[in-house]
Amino acid sequence: MAGEKKAAKTQETKKQQEKKDHPIKLFEGKRITIKEIGPNTIEGDCIVAEPGYLILMNVIIKGTKHVAEAQLLYIPHHRISFVHTEPTKVEEIKEEEPQ
């Protein structure tokens, strides 16, 4: 009887863990910017965000010498330095002149 209760409890715990979404799922359906490991910056509409990869549509890839556009991009997580949503506000930093 105790073994059955323990097995049922273990199954419930596994179901609860499966229900929790990975934080990367928050980017699905949004325009995002990815700083890739290396010099590239990638912008695109995130259509799939899974714990191992991202898939983007309408992609702009900015490198050191070229800017490329693509319809579809797959990027594994080990290539990503950080990700953020499209900026809502961008301001230029004004440097004060020393007196």
pTM value is 0.71
- What does the pLDDT look like over 55-96, one tens digit per residue? 999 999 999 999 999 999 999 999 999 999 988 899 999 888
- Which backbone phi and psi does 88 adopt, to 5 degrees? -95, -20
Give the integer Cα–Cα distance in Å for 28 and 75: 14
pLDDT interval class at 22 (50, 70, 90): confident
CATH of domain 27-88: 2.30.30.100
Q: What is the mean pLDDT of the chain?
A: 87
Give the model's pLDDT for residue 98.
73
If you average pLDDT over residues 14-26, what whole number do you get?
A: 74
What are the CB-based long-range contacts (under 8 Å, 24+) for 53-57? Answer: 53/77, 54/24, 54/27, 54/80, 54/83, 56/32
- What does the pLDDT look like over 26-50, one tens digit per residue? 999 999 999 999 999 999 999 999 9
Give the model's pLDDT for residue 55.
97
